């Protein structure tokens, strides 16, 4: 009898243990990304040692492959328990308006997040009077990273304008150094750089207007951006098509390339590699502008382990979670009440800039435009890298915008 009871109990324990899972879907596999995610898991596992975390990552920067896998799963009725999604249009247009998510407003109120997260961030996760995902960070897209030793060796100053950039690039090229590290393997990286060039020629207001119809895509400043970008492409490593964003960063670590333009996940990468010799300034002509995006996680309808997700989201939104994650990730916390002293120098500077710079939404990372527009935009710019034809490309950009209801 006792034996039978024990067997039943054991079976129950095993069933409970098996049932207690949490699947977290993201594309965080690169240096800095994986370390940041692990910090969140560590905190969660300490609080809930009985829950098995399934780290469902699909490699590929900016979600190049993950987003397609996610779509298949969501449409097939097999949602991960929670998934990485950019705050802004990507979250709202792709998943919220279509009815795939549960609102999280109660959680925001009970956890006090509405009091510690900036209005700008709360706005882009809101729809129909509800909050829909928990932002874990704020990333900056428009940063120019450089190898300090190379710059010192040749007496160069980090460029602030396009003219200075080309001047420095020419000097580096003459020394046999790759001026601008570039990786286009995943298809989004060129659009990322081009986004910063658009900001450089249009300014904050002009760039924002591209996604709202206030700035026309036929604008001569778009032409200028394409011309500048075509010129930049003369200074990149010839093997860029075989490199991912982090493999491009590796050229800087190895001292083969001097600069690259990438989001501040690059800081996370450099730190994860133990490389301390990196400097940063803004992408050329981006003075005073913060090109922003935010990674967030939500609760899809039909999540198999709903309670575990809610517990995980609490960790994501907590002070401890945001500090531990962002120190490794290169981003800054979405919460404003964190201990700044804990952060590396780069993030300290980004925190200051966030408060004083003008904020614009990143298009490549889901904040500015619906996903379909982003996909078309990135494909046209990827093509431009192979065939930098300014006229044809601008025409294509104009017709994509027209498809999305923008005036010509
Ligand atoms: C994400 C970052 C990530 C980067 C490269 C961006 O879209 O927001 O968290 O590190 O892609 O994978």
| Neighbouring C-beta atoms of residue 276, cutoff 10 Å | 10
Phi, psi angles (nearest 5°) of residue 131: -95, 145
From 401, 399, 249, select the one nearest 330 (Cα to Cα). Answer: 249
Measured in angstroms, how far is the CA atom of residue 408 from the centroid of ligand 1? 31
Residue 48 phi, psi (nearest 5): -130, 70
Assess whether the C-beta atom of 62 lies below 6 angstroms from ligand 1. Answer: yes
Q: Is 67 in the pocket of ligand 1 (CB under 6 A)?
A: no
φ/ψ of residue 297, rounded to 5: -135, 140
Among protein residues, the one with the nearest Cα to ligand 1's atom 12 is: 61
328 Cβ below 6 A of ligand 1:
no
Residues of the chain with CATH 3.40.190.10: 19-138+295-342, 140-292+362-403
Ligand 1 touching residue 183 (CB < 6 A) = no
Q: Whose CA is nearest to atom 4 of ligand 1?
A: 62
140-292+362-403 falls under which CATH superfamily?
Periplasmic binding protein-like II (3.40.190.10)
Q: CB of 295 closer than 6 A to ligand 1?
A: yes
Q: How far is the CA of 265 from the centre of ligand 1 (A)?
A: 7
Q: What is the pLDDT of residue 12?
A: 53
Kindly state if the Cβ of 43 falls inside 6 Å of ligand 1. no
Exposure class string for 225-263: b at 16+ Cβ within 10 A, else e: bbebbeebbebbbeebeebbbbbbbbbbbeeebbbbbbb
Distance 62 CA to ligand 1 centre (A): 5
Q: Which residues pair with 22 in a beta bridge?
A: 53
Nearest atom in ligand 1 to the alpha carbon of residue 366 is: 7
Q: Please check whether the domain covering 19-138+295-342 is classified as CATH 3.40.640.10.
A: no
DSSP states along 119-184 = HHHHHHTEETTEE--EE--BEE--EEEEEHHHHHHTT-----SHHHHHHHHHHHHHTT-EEE----
pTM score: 0.95
Ligand 1 binding pocket includes 61 (Cβ within 6 Å): yes
- The CB density around residue 151, as the number of other CB atoms within 10 Å, is 18
Compute CA distances 351 → 75, 136, 156, 172, 256, whole Å: 38, 15, 27, 31, 30
pLDDT at 323: 98
> Whole-angstrom Cα distance, residue 34 to residue 402?
39
H or E element in which residue 258 lies: strand 257-262
**Which pLDDT score is estimated for 408?**
74
- Best of 30, 36, 61 to mutate for ligand 1, by most ligand atoms within 8 A of CB? 61
Calculate how far, in angstroms, residue 351's C-alpha sits from the geometric centre of ligand 1: 18
The pick from 35, 39, 262, 295 for probing ligand 1's pocket by mutation, whose C-beta has the most ligand atoms within 8 angstroms, reads 295
Structural tokens at position 175: 């020394």
Place of tokens 């962002």: 326
CA of 405 to the centre of ligand 1 (A): 28
Secondary-structure percent of the chain, ordered helix, strand, coil, rounded to 5: 55, 15, 30
Residue 272 CB less than 6 A away from ligand 1: no
Query: Residue whose CA is closest, atom 10 of ligand 1?
Result: 265
**Tens place of pLDDT for every residue, the chain, 408 residues?**
566 766 556 555 555 545 699 999 999 999 999 999 999 999 999 999 999 999 999 999 999 999 999 999 999 999 999 999 999 999 999 999 999 999 999 999 999 999 999 999 999 999 999 999 999 999 999 999 999 999 999 999 999 999 999 999 999 999 999 999 999 999 999 999 999 999 999 999 999 999 999 999 999 999 999 999 999 999 999 999 999 999 999 999 999 999 999 999 999 999 999 999 999 999 999 999 999 999 999 999 999 999 999 999 999 999 999 999 999 999 999 999 999 999 999 999 999 999 999 999 999 999 999 999 999 999 999 999 999 999 999 999 999 999 999 987
Rounded Cα–Cα distance for residues 235 and 245 (Å): 16
Q: Which residue has the tokens 């049932």?
A: 19
For residue 293 and ligand 1, the question of a CB distance below 6 A is answered with yes
Distance 224 CA to ligand 1 centre (A): 28
Q: What are phi and psi of 359, to 5 degrees?
A: -95, 130
Pocket probe mutation, ligand 1, options 25, 26, 32, 33, max atoms within 8 Å of Cβ? 33
- Distance (angstroms) between ligand 1 centre and the Cα of 294 equals 9
Q: How far is CA 374 from the centre of its chain?
A: 14
From 361, 338, 344, select the one nearest 136 (Cα to Cα). 338
According to the model, what pLDDT value does residue 407 have?
Answer: 80
How far CA 195 is from CA of 18, 145, 393, in Å, comes to 46, 16, 14
C-beta of 265 in contact with ligand 1 (< 6 A): yes
């Amino acid at each position: 009898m006792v034996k039978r009871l024990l067997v039943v109990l054991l079976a129950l324990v095993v069933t409970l243990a098996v049932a207690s899972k949490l699947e977290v879907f993201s594309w965080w596999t690169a240096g800095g990304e994986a370390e940041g995610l692990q910090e969140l898991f560590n905190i969660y596992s300490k609080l809930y040692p009985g829950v098995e975390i399934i780290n469902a990552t699909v490699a590929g920067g900016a979600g190049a492959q993950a987003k397609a896998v996610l779509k298949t799963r969501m449409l097939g009725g097999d949602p991960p328990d929670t998934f990485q999604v950019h705050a802004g249009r990507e979250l709202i247009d792709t998943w919220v308006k279509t009815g795939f998510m549960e609102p999280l407003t109660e959680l925001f109120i009970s956890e006090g997040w509405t009091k510690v997260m900036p209005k700008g961030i709360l706005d882009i996760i809101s729809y129909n009077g509800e909050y829909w995902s928990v932002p874990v960070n704020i990333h900056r897209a428009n940063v120019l990273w450089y190898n300090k030793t190379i710059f010192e060796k040749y007496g160069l100053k980090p460029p602030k304008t396009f003219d200075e950039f080309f001047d420095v690039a020419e000097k580096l090229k003459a020394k046999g150094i790759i001026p601008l590290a570039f990786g286009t393997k995943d298809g989004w990286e060129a659009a990322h750089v081009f986004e910063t060039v658009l900001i450089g020629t249009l300014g904050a207001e002009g760039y924002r207007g591209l996604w709202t119809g206030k700035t026309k895509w036929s604008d001569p400043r778009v032409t200028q951006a394409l011309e500048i970008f075509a010129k930049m492409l003369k200074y990149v490593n010839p093997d860029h098509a075989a490199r991912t964003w982090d493999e491009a960063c590796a050229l800087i670590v190895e001292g083969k390339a001097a600069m690259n333009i990438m989001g501040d996940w690059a800081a996370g990468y450099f730190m994860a590699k133990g490389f301390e010799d990196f400097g940063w300034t803004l992408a050329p002509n981006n003075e005073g502008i913060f090109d922003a995006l935010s990674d967030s996680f939500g609760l899809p309808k039909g999540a198999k382990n709903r309670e575990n997700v809610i517990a995980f989201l609490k960790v994501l939104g907590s002070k401890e979670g945001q500090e531990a994650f962002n120190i490794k990730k290169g981003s800054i916390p979405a919460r404003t009440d964190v201990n700044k002293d804990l952060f590396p120098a780069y993030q300290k500077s980004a925190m200051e800039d966030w408060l004083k710079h003008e904020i614009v939404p990143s298009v490549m990372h889901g904040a500015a435009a619906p996903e379909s527009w982003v996909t078309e935009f990135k494909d046209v710019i990827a093509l431009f890298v192979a065939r930098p034809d300014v006229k044809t490309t601008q025409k294509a950009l104009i017709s994509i915008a027209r498809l999305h209801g923008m005036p010509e």
